[in-house]
Amino acid sequence: MKQFDYVRPATVTEAVAAAAQPGAVFLAAGTNLLDLMKGGVSRPDRLVDVTHLDGLDRIETLADGSLRIGALVRNADLAHDAEFARSYPAVAEALLSGASAQLRNAATVGGNLLQRTRCAYFYDTASRCNKREPGSGCDARDGENRGHAVLGWSESCIATHPSDFCVPLVALDAVVEIEGRGGRREIALDELHRLPGEAPERETVLEPGDLIVAVRLPTAARGFAAHARYLKVRERTSYAFAVVSAAAALRIENGKVAQARLALGGVAAKPWRARAAEDVLRGVAPTADAFQEAARRALEGAKPSGDNAFKIELARRIVVRALTLAAAGTPARIPALPASPFASTSGAIHA
């Protein structure tokens, strides 16, 4: 790990100023940053430790009914907040399906939003990677890429965003509150992450010094609590990144879908909101056919970036399943294996 200066600002304003310098980065829990620094992927000159800042670790319901989650709230604390899990069950389920209990105890809400891709070529500093070293090329494009993006990728980068948490958040229209040199502003989470295009090194719209201070879930997000699921296919039963995942949330009125929310994980450089699919579900009965059509729409424009065509078909099937599960209703308790296809382990076997 490269030598760095360590600064511990007393206020958000100081933090923003300290991190606006070239070579400076924020340190929250460090569960992703330290990993990157140990691998030589990230070599900052200055760490601006925000973990001691006051007031960023609260979960509060605002007057308008929206929920404001401080950026330093730990993933586990959020997922285990009973009121939160009741109101936003798919988000809690997604959180609990990510990483390990130890990492969730440390990792922060803000840090989760900004975690970097797991692309092996990004991590391998001997490989060419446009994200790590702009203009160097992309060794993933013709490499071992069965896990890479099938939506929104470009020739310069086929990496995916690894977060589970962001997937239901983006489906529920979460808003990100940012403190920057120009003061406070907010943007939709859907606008936080950028697709790679020609500049995959610019992963978000954040400017130097910008500090995410909170994530907000609008009032309307509560309306999906009765029909919201997160589903994640992975190559271990637990403690593995998604091959593909989906968050589905429905508002069902009089047997019809009044409103649908759908987002996919593991398929693109950002959590992938599938608005076209949501549109086809509005006003229709929650049937298998309707979900198939939604799945088709959700993956429109998908194309393999390598040895990963299966992910397109898999994503379609996950969409159908996630919608089916959501339509069936949110379970009273998050399953023993959160977001797993094996959430329900029934004993009885039928020939």
Binding-site member from 90, 159, 167, 233 for another protein (CB under 8 A): 233
Q: Do 233 and 243 contact (CB within 8 A), yes or no?
A: yes
Nearby residues of 74 by Cβ (< 8 Å), 6 or more positions away: 29, 57, 104, 105, 106, 107, 108, 109
* Triad 105, 5, 129: Cα angle to 5°: 75
Residue number with CB closer to another protein (255 or 342)? 342
Which parts of 244-263 interact with another protein (CB under 8 A)? none
The whole-angstrom separation of Cα 100 and Cα 150 is: 27
Residue number with CB closer to another protein (224 or 241)? 241
Q: DSSP label at 193?
A: B
How far the first Cα of the chain sits from its last, in Å, is: 57
Kindly state whether residue 287 participates in binding another protein, applying the rule CB under 8 A: no
Which parts of 86-105 interact with another protein (CB under 8 A)? 99-103, 105
Report in angstroms how near the CB of residue 264 gets to another protein at its nearest.
Answer: 14
Q: Which residues pair with 263 in a beta bridge?
A: 247, 273
Q: Which helix (H) or strand (E) holds 321?
A: helix 310-328
Kindly state whether residue 27 participates in binding another protein, applying the rule CB under 8 A: yes
Token pair for 302: 């998908």
Per-residue contact string for residues 3-22; x = within reach of another protein by CB under 8 A: xxxx-x--------------
Q: DSSP label at 189?
A: G
Per-residue contact string for residues 50-69; x = within reach of another protein by CB under 8 A: -x------------------
Question: Near another protein by CB under 8 A, which window of 29-37, 171-179, 203-211, 216-224?
Answer: 29-37
Nearby residues of 275 by Cβ (< 8 Å), 6 or more positions away: none
Report in angstroms how near the CB of residue 341 gets to another protein at its nearest.
Answer: 4
Which parts of 292-321 interact with another protein (CB under 8 A)? 310, 313-314, 317-318, 320-321
Kindly state whether residue 30 participates in binding another protein, applying the rule CB under 8 A: yes
